[in-house]
C-alpha cells in the first residue's frame, strides 16, 4: 500500500526557535497533502491543504505566517512552525492523496510530536 512518512517523529525545541517537519510520500506521487493538528484526546483539526507547486490553502484561524507550508515536489511537503511557543506544542499529522490506490483515499503519516519549552 501507499506509504507516507514524517520526520522527525518527535522534536523538542526552545521558545522562539523554528521547527521544520517533513512529510514524504514514499511510493506514490502526492498531488495534495494535508496538515493536521491534534490535541490530546481530541480529533484531528485540518490546518491547511497544499497542492504541489502552488500556495497552501489555510483553514480559518490558522496563521499563515506562523505555520509555513511548502509543497515543492510531488513527494515532499514541509511544515515550518516559526517562532514556536509552548502553545504550539501538539501532535502534527500529514496525509496525502494522489496517484495511488483508490480515488479519494487518504494516506496518513505517523505524526510528529512537537514540544516547545
Where on the chain is the footprint of other proteins (CB under 8 A)? 32, 34, 38, 42-44, 46, 49, 91, 93, 95, 97, 102, 104-111, 113
From residue 107, how far is each of 3, 14, 20, 69 by CA, in Å?
Answer: 7, 31, 21, 18
**Between 21 and 111, whose beta carbon lies closer to other proteins?**
111
- Cα dihedral angle (117, 43, 107, 105), rounded to 10 degrees? -160
Give the shortest CB-14-to-other proteins separation in angstroms: 23
- Our CB check for other proteins shows the closer of 63 and 105 to be 105
45 Cα distance to chain centroid: 11
Please state the closest distance from residue 114 (CB atom) to other proteins, in A. 12
Amino acid at each position: 500500500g501507499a506509504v507516507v512518512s514524517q520526520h522527525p517523529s518527535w522534536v523538542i525545541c526552545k521558545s522562539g526557535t523554528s521547527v521544520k517537519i517533513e512529510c514524504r510520500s514514499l511510493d506514490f506521487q502526492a498531488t495534495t497533502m494535508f496538515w493536521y493538528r491534534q490535541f490530546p484526546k481530541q480529533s484531528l483539526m485540518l490546518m491547511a491543504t497544499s497542492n504541489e507547486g502552488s500556495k497552501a490553502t489555510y483553514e480559518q484561524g490558522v496563521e499563515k505566517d506562523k505555520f509555513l507550508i511548502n509543497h515543492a515536489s510531488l513527494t515532499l511537503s514541509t511544515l515550518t512552525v516559526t517562532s514556536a511557543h509552548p502553545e504550539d506544542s501538539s501532535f502534527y499529522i500529514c496525509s496525502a492523496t494522489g496517484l495511488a490506490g483508490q480515488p479519494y483515499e487518504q494516506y496518513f503519516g505517523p505524526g510528529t510530536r512537537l514540544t516547545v519549552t
